[in-house]
Amino acid sequence: MPLRGVLFDMDGVIYNENAPIPGAIEAVGWAVSQGIPHLFVTNTTSKGRKALVAKLQGMGIETGPSRILTPCVAASEWLRTQPSGAVALFVRSAAREEFRDLPLLTEGAETGAAYVVIGDLGHQWDFKTLNRAFRLLHYEPDARLIALGMTRYWQTAEGVSLDVAPFVAALEHATGRRPQIFGKPAEALFSAAAHQLGLARNEIVMIGDDINADIGGAQAAGLRGALVQTGKFRAADLDGPVKPDVVLASVAKLPEWWPVSATPVNSRC
Ligand SMILES: [Mg+2]
């Protein structure tokens, strides 16, 4: 199967924090000029699509909200396909816009949720908030636990900090409810990406700097994975169980690699 579509991870592939990675803007521009269907795929749940578009545009990448796929977008689209029911959101205010056309549970209510959505609340987590999520699940045995990713921790300016997974794990442990996970490496996000691009999974390559979340997740979902040696990449990543289809010095090498991409992989560029 020839490659036809591209998923760009954002942090560590297009930019590091607020600095574009050299050649990234040109690589995206190349994909646009070639008419290659593409999406920007990120596990961020602390920013809405508008803010992510603004960040890319600020770096000179012209794009729009329909080209951004986040766990919030994938989860809200999935919720629209499910039986209707009240959705309890535990997400930052910036992420709420993706869910605004769904029936949302009244703030503070402790019963009546059909879906309990857990995102990265950061400093807004406290016992009362986590316990409210627990009560919603406990009182409604059929309520679904939705995780906007299962990242365990992340690096912030003030030090390493808990991400989404530990809070989901606490709720899973307390209720026995298995979470439906959106966010790399979960299959649901890659499935949503393929659906959005209108391509078969094996026609799509995920370009990422996270050997497990990006490459392992994409490959397990039937996509191909191109590991870039920027962002969080470490040389030891190449010695683990996940084998990228290709290793690129950076996303800037995408145009150079692309024409030979239909040939057997495990090449380097
Ligand atoms: Mg990344």
CATH number, domain at 95? 3.40.50.1000
Instruction: Kindly report, residue by residue over 195-226, the tens digit of the pLDDT.
Output: 999 999 999 999 999 999 999 999 999 999 99
Say which range, 12-21, 43-52, 136-145, has the weakest mean pLDDT: 43-52
Rounded to the nearest 10 degrees, how much is the dihedral formed by the CA atoms of 36, 37, 40, 42? -120
Phi and psi of 138, rounded to 5°? -65, -40
The alpha carbon of 12 and the centre of ligand 1 are apart by a number of angstroms equal to: 4
- Give residue 227 CA to ligand 1 midpoint distance, Å: 10
Domain boundary, last residue among 130, 151, 182:
182
Residues 194 and 245 in one domain: yes
Beta bridge partners of 268: 247
Helix axes 165-175, 127-139, angle to 10 degrees: 40
Average pLDDT for 123-144 = 97
Last residue in a domain, options 156, 182, 208:
182
Cα of 93 from ligand 1 centre, angstroms: 23
Ligand 1 centroid – CA 44 distance (Å): 10
CA atoms within 13 A on the CB side of 231: 25
Instruction: State in Å: Cα 37 to ligand 1 middle.
Output: 20
- Considering its fold, how many domains does the chain have in total? 2
Provide the b/e sequence for 90-123 (b: ≥16 CB within 10 Å).
Answer: bbbebbeebbeebebbeeeeeeebbbbbbbbbee
Tell me the per-residue pLDDT of 86-111, one tens digit each, with 9 for 90 and over. 999 999 988 898 999 999 999 999 99
Q: In angstroms, rounded to a whole number, what is the distance separating the alpha carbons of residues 123 and 129?
A: 11
Q: What is the mean pLDDT of residues 227-254?
A: 96
Residues 164 and 222 both lie in one domain: no
* One domain for residues 135 and 230: no
Please give the pLDDT value at position 33: 94
> How many angstroms is it from 232 CA to the middle of ligand 1?
7
62 vs 132, more confident:
132
Instruction: Report how far ligand 1's centroid is from the alpha carbon of 171 (Å).
Output: 27
**CA 226 to centroid of ligand 1, rounded, Å:** 12
147 & 55 share domain? no
pLDDT reading at 261 higher than 60: no
**How far does residue 14's CA lie from ligand 1's centre (Å)?**
9
Domain identity same for 65 and 197 = yes
What integer pLDDT is reported at residue 162 of this predicted model?
92
The answer to whether 136 and 175 have CB atoms below 8 angstroms apart is no
| Distance from residue 251's CA to the centre of ligand 1 (Å) | 12
The pLDDT of residue 17: 84
Distance (Å) from CA 143 to ligand 1 centroid: 32
Distance 43 CA to ligand 1 centre (A): 9
Same domain, yes or no: 52 and 66:
yes
Same domain membership, residue 57 and residue 85: no
Ligand 1 centre from 10 Cα, in Å? 6
Q: Can you tell me the mean pLDDT for 161-180? A: 96
pLDDT at 48: 86
CA 116 to ligand 1 center in whole angstroms: 27
Q: What is the pLDDT of residues 63-88, one digit of tens each?
A: 999 999 999 999 999 999 999 999 99
Sheet holding 179-181, edge to edge: 87-90, 115-118, 144-147, 179-181
What is the CA(213)–ligand 1 centre distance, in A?
9
pLDDT value at 117 more than 60: yes
Q: What's the average model confidence in pLDDT over 165-184?
A: 96
How wide is the angle at C-alpha 158 spanned by C-alphas 71 and 117, nearest 5°? 25
Q: What residues make up the domain containing 205?
A: 5-70+185-268
Quote the pLDDT of residue 262. Answer: 46
